[in-house]
Structure 1
Amino acid sequence: MKQLVVNGWNFIFDANVSPLRNIPDVGTRHYVFQALAFMWAVAFATAIGSYTIFAVSILGHTVLIAAAAITVATYTTAAKKPKMFVFGSGRSNDDEHV
């Protein structure tokens, strides 16, 4: 297993082993390696950032869905059992006529 990891590491990061060794100019080889490194850094940063933001997004969507559910429940209760909102408020329908 250790040798597999070492061989994989060398294949990617060792200029004498990787396919980049076929690029004759050392400067160009280095530039291509740096471009690939930057690409992978951006890819991992984007992936980790999206995982982190995904959790915040889930929380935000949960709050919005809960607010919509509470609104629907309130409107349904107001339509079917309006007296539920009068109970315990200290007011009754008889007070409206005074």
Structure 2
Amino acid sequence: MNYMLNMWDVVMNNKHNPLSQIPDFETRHMVFQLLAWMWCIIFSMYFGSMYIFGTTAILHTLIIAGIAITFAIFRTAEKNPQFFMKKDGYHSFSRARQHMWINGKKVQLDPSDPGGEHE
């Protein structure tokens, strides 16, 4: 099992594979995408179908993009957790108008209360 995990790290983990030497994250991601496309082409040529290329190219793009987005969110949460906190001046959508209609009556909302999800 450790062998499989080590092989996964060598190929997929940017801290363990040679792509870790590329300092810019976006460039590293682009090179990783190009490698994925190359393997899509090799796989589709092996099976002799361009339909397989389209399918594998789309799937590789989605998987790698999902991994990259998840990594970026985790990295942001680690380095700047305040990014996900409520900002000053934020109001939920229903608070944008500063009133609500409840049972046919207009109710003014407290301007200092940012509101909640289920008003």
TM-score, structure 2 normalization: 0.39
Higher helix share: 1
Between Structure 1 and Structure 2, whose CA radius of gyration is higher?
A: 1
The structure whose RCO (Cα within 8 Å, separation 6+) is larger is 2
